Structure 1
Amino acid sequence: MRLLRRLPLVLAAVAAWLPAAGTASADPAGAASVAPTAVVSADFPDPDVLQVGSTFYAYSTSSWAGRVPVASAPSATGPWTVRGDALPAKPSWAGNGGFWAPDVSRRADGRYLMYFTGPSTATGRMCIGAAVSSSPLGPFQPLGSAPLVCNASEGGDIDPSSFVDADGRRYLIYKNDGNAVGRPTILWLQQVQADGVTFVGGRSELIRNDRPEEAGVIEAPVLVKRPSQYVLFYAGGSYGGSGYFTSYATSRSLTGPYAKAYRPLMTTATLDGAVQGPGGADVAGDRVFFHGWVGNARWMYTADLGWANDYPVVRGSRVRYEAERGSLHNAMVRTGAAGASQGAVAAKIDYSDSWVDITVFAPVTGDYTAHVAYAAGYGDAQHLVTVNGSAQFVLSYPNRGWDNWTQVRADVRLVAGWNTLRFQHHVRWAELDYIEVA
């Protein structure tokens, strides 16, 4: 039984991936899907990216390059050059150890504000500090003799992120590290004054760790304001392996309530293994930046980011579209064993004039791969596939039996925005369950 979405179906990446089981005759101009690009091929985890004029700057968790490594590039895709340590002076309240997940933004006074996570000697927990600089390259000078946020009873506090709303109000978003002490892990929103370090009022809970796939961990918050809603990106699972993922939650209001996406935005599986454990994401313009494991290091990657009705879509990460939710013409819709009340699970294209239209979203114009889940039991079947009313090709479905859902792939050329794929009867019979576009 394929479950229907709580959020709009066409807008979230699938959490589980089935290997392709065949090939298709497709548009000869088509090519394989474009995977995310590694732009820093060295340890550069939890990247935060800032654009100043025509130059891009990135900051990472402590590594070989320093306490808070900084890199720069003339464009989002590079070439990126690691410049050194943006925070060479350790704050007085911090002990020895790594500094995690920095965030740099430009204040109204023109100075650059860095949030960072460091080890507090007083509490023995990781806490949030702040530093300022006149240059995005630093050096950043720590502010104050104590952390900005440091609640030992809730496990400490990590992963700070800045956000400025449309009305100019500034906020700090962060995580209490509850999973470190067996307590709930919550992402918090705290208003601050223009200096970024003076709190205004109390904090608001946005989301907490409440799903099995999160393995008790949510972190790395980044908030984006879209015309119709707020989108809160976050990471889930254990950062130390391929199970780490990036997801999101949405709300019409800044303070919530936020509804988590039905499926994560990026996982190792949705990226077809091109990135292991995609997480620690940041958004800069029309691109998303994140890290993934390569050996014992976490490289920085980037990919195109698009917005389908103000929901994020990442190029190279599979997005699922259910066939029975498309536009049907003379196509029988088959329901689950418990009847129609549980929802349709497949569209069977039975007649010579029957077809199914499935509308899919592309972040940018280019070549994509459609992975089509089907069942065929009376011999090999074929559909005539039309892309946006013009380009056509024949898609073949090897006979695997009606109870054996299988995938074939088709390379298609899509335009930026919404596209319509029509699957029309051609030879014998096949049922469509869903397609995944990467």
Structure 2
Amino acid sequence: MAAVLLGVSACLAALPAGAVAPVPAAPARTAPSPTAPSPTTPVIDEEFADPDVVEVGGVFHAYATNAHGRNIQHATSTDLVRWTVDATDVLPDVGAWVTLDPPGRVWAPEVFDNGDGFTLLYTARDRAGGRQCVGSALASSPDGPFRPVGEGPLVCPTEDGGAIDASVHTENGTRHLLWKTDGNCCEKDTWIHLQPVSWDGTRVTGEPVRLIKQDRTWEDRVVEAPTLVRRNGRYVLLYSAGDYRYDGYATGWATADTLTGPYVKGDLPLLTTESFSGAIAGPGGQDVVTGPGGQDRILFHGRGADRSRRMLYVADLGFADGRPVVRGSKARHEAELARVHRATVRQARDAWGDRAVGHIDEPDSSVEFRVFAASPGPHTLSVRYGNGSLDAAGAPAAATHRLTVNGADAGAVDYPYTGWDEWRTREVPVELRAGWNTVRLAKGERYTELDAVEVA
């Protein structure tokens, strides 16, 4: 079976995160939202950053970084799409170890059912050491109010810059805490750690293990906001990277065969401003939850047309042989995975550097590739091409490829003339099923070189 083609894609902090001055609380309201998940339409169209979601009795509870005069925000939904934003602060008291000077430094909540109630983990500024650290609080209900536990923070490595962005992963009866050293506060490394904790998450019970740190150019010296899931027998670690204030903030991924690693990062990030074609800027702070019907969903914040606020988005999530795939987000695959039928593949140099270029020259030649869709439905096929064809009179002429999807005729892709030294993109709608799909481009009229194919 063929795999993805030459650059083919499958669809698929100096300031603290969410630092805002307190403002009067707004009344409770139901946020307008679409009737089905749309990856580029916010489901909460206001500041709701660093989301965490827990499902209790068919109701999804979302928590977010401070805003609107609340230390921790709270919203509820039954479908992950239509949300009611609560007017109360579920963490009204941050604990004696916390200083709120300056204000707006409570963020990145994580809530889970501990069997006897609910635990909230949160990031706040430690009064003694002056660094951001992770604290814990308990409540009898996911609606709160949560009350801080202990006289000090749960995790607070002051010498490494502090700790932020707690999340949990539970396996074989053991609760594990993930957190990040806030080394970017003081020109140190930022490590994501895994550490065993008590079942209610209020005490650490073992030493932390380092999983990954910043080592990619696109990460801009920061990794943070870990989320760990196990799918298809592999551990998938999602994380955010970069400066959350700018469009370069993005979501990356790494996989491992064992809980403690080693974790191998993906070649390219999962969610970026570019992967959403600019419709969402700086996507990050993600969480993963199983939604209605058993569909995995990823919830994350991002900036839409209004770049001043980080809103809540939700998208279908799938795993292609362990690799995460998000509907609506384009992610490139490597050229060597292509299968070319009765055609040639050569290396050509363009503005992007060395890139495989596919020639579909012979009458029965074609290029076949596989793409993974997180969920079924309409998608967009984008083909980056170059066409220098001439007609019989020597004039510039359009070219075409015949398109089939899963063996069914899907029409033709037409390519206006570009010349052989220019790349352009053509987009056509395609209908995909959930999981793997086979897409083929076959010889049509005249000739076109292929540089990259994306499906989103």
TM-score normalised by length of structure 2: 0.85
Partner Cα separation in structure 2 for residue 268 and residue 366 of structure 1? 23
Contact 1:287–1:303, Cα closer than 8 Å, also in 2: yes
Give the equivalent residue in structure 2 for 1:320. 332
Partner Cα separation in structure 2 for residue 71 and residue 194 of structure 1? 25
- Aligned ranges 1:62-77 → 2 under 5 Å: 62-77=66-81
Contact 2:126–2:132, Cα closer than 8 Å, also in 1: yes
Contact 1:12–1:312, Cα closer than 8 Å, also in 2: no
How far the C-alpha of 1:90 sits from its partner, in A, is 2.1
Give the equivalent residue in structure 2 for 1:351. 362
Q: Which amino acid aligns with 1:50?
A: V
Matched, 1:300 2:312: yes
Change (3 A) 1:111 1:366: same
1:427 partner SS: coil
Worse overlay, 423-432 or 321-330: 321-330
Q: Which amino acid aligns with 2:363?
A: S
Deviations 1:343-391 (A, max 9, x none): 9702200011111111111111111011111122123210010111113
1:40 partner SS: coil
Matched, 1:382 2:400: yes
Identify the match of residue 91 of structure 1 among 76, 89, 95: 95
How far the C-alpha of 1:323 sits from its partner, in A, is 6.1
Identity %: 41
1:202 partner SS: coil
Q: Which amino acid aligns with 1:164?
A: T
Partner Cα separation in structure 1 for residue 341 and residue 452 of structure 2? 17
- Aligned ranges 1:8-407 → 2 under 5 Å: 35-96=39-100, 97=103, 98-107=105-114, 109-165=115-171, 167-285=172-290, 286-293=296-303, 294-321=306-333, 325-336=337-348, 345-378=356-389, 379-407=397-425
Partner Cα separation in structure 1 for residue 44 and residue 175 of structure 2? 30
2:243 partner SS: coil
Deviations 1:195-236 (A, max 9, x none): 222322211000001111111111100101112210111001
Give the equivalent residue in structure 1 for 2:393. none
Contact 1:320–1:437, Cα closer than 8 Å, also in 2: no
Give the equivalent residue in structure 1 for 2:453. 435
Contact 1:12–1:261, Cα closer than 8 Å, also in 2: no
How far the C-alpha of 1:320 sits from its partner, in A, is 2.6
Deviations 1:272-307 (A, max 9, x none): 111111111111111111111233221111111111
List alignment gaps of at least 5 residues for structure 2. 13-36, 291-295, 390-396
Partner Cα separation in structure 1 for residue 315 and residue 166 of structure 2? 23
Change (3 A) 1:322 1:90: closer
Q: Which amino acid aligns with 2:231?
A: R
- The structure richer in strand per residue is 1
Give the equivalent residue in structure 1 for 2:19. none
Give me the CA root mean square deviation.
Answer: 2.1
TM-score normalised by length of structure 1: 0.89
Contact 1:158–1:175, Cα closer than 8 Å, also in 2: yes
Partner Cα separation in structure 1 for residue 382 and residue 125 of structure 2? 46
Change (3 A) 1:9 1:219: farther
Give the equivalent residue in structure 2 for 1:28. none
How far the C-alpha of 1:110 sits from its partner, in A, is 3.2
Partner Cα separation in structure 1 for residue 247 and residue 387 of structure 2? 33
Q: Which amino acid aligns with 1:375?
A: G
2:184 partner SS: helix
How far the C-alpha of 1:65 sits from its partner, in A, is 4.7
Q: Which amino acid aligns with 1:372?
A: V
Partner Cα separation in structure 1 for residue 162 and residue 11 of structure 2? 32
Partner Cα separation in structure 2 for residue 372 and residue 276 of structure 1? 23
Contact 1:323–1:435, Cα closer than 8 Å, also in 2: no
Contact 1:324–1:346, Cα closer than 8 Å, also in 2: no
How far the C-alpha of 1:257 sits from its partner, in A, is 0.8
How far the C-alpha of 1:11 sits from its partner, in A, is 6.5
Contact 2:357–2:450, Cα closer than 8 Å, also in 1: yes
Partner Cα separation in structure 1 for residue 202 and residue 214 of structure 2? 27
Change (3 A) 1:10 1:409: closer
Contact 2:376–2:432, Cα closer than 8 Å, also in 1: yes
